[in-house]
Amino acid sequence: MAEPLRANLSGKTCLVTGASAGIGLAAARALARLGGRVVLAVRNPDKGARALLSVVGEAGREAELAVVDVARRESVRAFARDLATRHRTLDVLVNNAGIWSERRRLGPDGIELVWATNVLGYFHVTELLLPLLRAAGKARVVNVASQLAGNLDLSDVQFARRPWSGRAAYAQSKQADRMLTWALARRLSGTGVTANAMHPGFVASEIFGKGGGPISLAASVYSKLRGRRPEEGADTVVWLAASPEVEGRSGLFWIDRQERPCRFRHEKAEEALWALCRDMVDRPEAHRS
């Protein structure tokens, strides 16, 4: 069991995407208990409203709700504009919103939905909130990744040619999340803003139950029987967001509050991925498949 986290986030603004359930909701609750003013970024406003009530009720302090579909470019842009009207700074950004799908689906911009949500969502939200993060000074970006990572093919990130596999698509997205974290950390060097990626463990959450298909069903059942509680999965997220122990540390991969090596480190490939994401966000119509 991890030691209780001793940190004070009073006066700090923390934003968590995918905060209506699972790891995201557990992280939002924990950050609020540490004194942070938490913004819960959610896709479903009804679930978000219930999550907001639970955070406010448990922490006994104000929190905010922001509705955004991270897979839709215009939704992310509207969300970022609105946030900037209400906050001059952002101290913590937790990119957590993600999906698993047993069938290939296209998102609202015509981009394959797992990639659009798990990768372009992280990339675009972070990019548009960078001015607020830089304005905060010593801000922190925490990207929820996974040990289930691999299969990245920059020539076919949407599985237009490869046979579809829900596991492979998810693993590819989580490899990309790690690599984008390293590319972001380089860009933030010297600014006081840090960026780290982490693996939460196998957590009992809703992500598998919504995937459709027998593999997702089996994973959902197994996670409920053997998986970590969301609070356990969120522990390292909150530690990276708040602990004085990691102040100034950036571009690292963490599991259970421990730095771990990452085999997905290759600057040229990271920059190629960054450029691809940049183009897919700028010109989604050119990448529809």
User: Which residues belong to the active site?
Assistant: 170
- Among 78, 194, 61, 180, which residue's Cα sits nearest to residue 136? 194
In the chain, at which residue ranges do the beta strands (DSSP E only) sit?
13-17, 37-42, 63-67, 92-95, 140-144, 194-199, 253-255, 258-260
For the stretch 115-138, what's the b/e string if a residue is b when 16 or more beta carbons lie within 10 angstroms of its beta carbon? Answer: bbbbbbbbbbbbbbbbebbeebee
Tell me if 264 sits within 8 A of 106, measured CB to CB: no
